[in-house]
Amino acid sequence: MKLLVSACLVGCPCRYDGRAFENEILKALVRKGLAVAVCPEISGGLSIPRPKAEIVGGTGDDVLSGHAKILNEWGEDVTPHFLIGAFKVLDIALREGARYAVFKDKSPSCGVYRIYDGSFTGKTCEGSGVTTAILRKYSISLFSNEQIR
């Protein structure tokens, strides 16, 4: 059984701004083959760098049900990219037998407990990203990067 981790948490510069974070615990798990690094946004065909994107009109669950969209800061609807990436990550999770994931909170893909509120003002709200919402539907337990120290 493997763990999924947001690739940006293990040093992959795949965030929207081309940066990365480095959590040594998670990096060690990837090195040992116990975790798989994933980036739904890159898997969905988005570039590095890319414009900021936020869920507008709800949460990841609302995106899945068609009641919310993911827009970038230029107003472009990038929902299809996020959905494609989310389902690709689900495929990886099922193939690898992953039952747990550690994701980057606040992301429109990977937010576990909080996401940006869609106003592009830096404000957050309770809710999860679209990839997280899909994984929860498959009973994959999710943890925020803030919980791993």
Range of the domain at 63: 3-147
In 3D, which of 5, 67, 69 has the Cα closest to residue 37?
Answer: 5
Give residue-wise pLDDT tens across range 43-58: 999 999 999 999 999 9
Bridge partners, residue 114, by sequence: 126
135-149 pLDDT per residue, tens = 999 999 999 999 987
> For the chain, how many structural domains are there in total?
1
Distance CA 133, CA 110 (A): 9
Helix (H) or strand (E) holding 37: strand 35-38
**What pLDDT, in 10s, does the model give residues 78-104?**
999 999 999 999 999 999 999 999 999
